[in-house]
Structure formats: structure tokens, C-alpha cells
Amino acid sequence: MAIRVIRENGDEILRKKSREVEIVDDKIRELLDDMVETMHKYNGVGLAAPQVGILKRVIVIDLYDDNGPLKLVNPKILKAKGTQEVEEGCLSFPNQYAKMIRPEEIVAEALDENGKKIKIKAKDLLAQAICHEIDHLDGILFVDNMIPGTLQYVEPSEEKN
């Protein structure tokens, strides 16, 4: 496992569309593990492969609950219901946050780390995170869909190490 470099705003790879993963093999599993480790190092809730410079449809999410990290390959949203106004940040935009409208509930489909097809019913923060990370796979950044005028820069506090 290794910590990967997170690409930040202005890096052109963040605007590119990721390719489907043909086979979930050891290389993909290593990428998923590295992404989880990288996301945890930077206290993120989610991370998409383009954020570490890989144009593959791979995302990881961790709500830091009892379920552990979610590793998704080729995720797709099948259904979305309701709306919620949320505050969102992104590891590629350090210390920046904006308000957005996201679906309140979604049903998504993906492959797990063993290549098995899974279906996920998600609401609230998990639905938000899945939508945010899938946007990354399509070259869409949260600032593209934010409620205009809500982007804020928050000074990093000295306490968080």
C-alpha cells in the first residue's frame, strides 16, 4: 500500500473522462487499497482515481462508520430521488467548501474489489459522496455545480495534524 499524490485544481487530468475497468485484477485492487490509504491520510470521505492521476472508473468512500471503506469499480447511478442542500469539499480543492444540491437518495450499481456486481441503496451523506465521486469520473468538479456565490476558503486550523 502506498500514499498517492492528490492532483489539485488546475491539473488537466481532473477534467478528463475516465475509462471503464475491463477486469478487476490485482492491479486494480492495489489501486483501491492505495486510494483508501490516501483518502484516510487526508481525512477525506471519498476519492476518485483521476484525483490520483489514474483515468479509470474507480472510487472509494468511507463514512468512518462500522461499515468500513466502500470500494467501487465502474459505478453508475441507476435512480435518484429527492434533493438535499449540502456543503461539499474536495481533496483536490484543499480548504474550499461550497453549497450544492444533490439527490437525497440514490440506487447505484458497481463492481466490488472482487469483480462481483453489487447494488447500493444510499441516502444522505453516502448518496452525496457517491454522486461527487462519480462526477470526478466524468471530469466534473464540485465547483461546476455549486450554488453560485457559496464557495468559501477556510483557513486550515493549527490543531488538525
Q: In angstroms, rounded to a whole number, what is the distance separating the alpha carbons of residues 79 and 70?
A: 19
pLDDT at site 152: 97
- Domains of the chain are 12-150 (3.90.45.10)
22 is catalytic: no
DSSP 68: -
Name the pTM for this structure.
Answer: 0.95
Q: Residues 81-111: pLDDT tens digits?
A: 999 999 999 999 999 999 999 999 999 999 9
Q: In angstroms, rounded to a whole number, what is the distance separating the alpha carbons of residues 92 and 32?
A: 18
DSSP 87: E
Active-site residue (options: 20, 85, 88, 133): 133
Q: In angstroms, rounded to a whole number, what is the distance separating the alpha carbons of residues 154 and 95?
A: 5
pLDDT at 113 over 60: yes
pLDDT band per the 50, 70, 90 thresholds, residue 145: very high
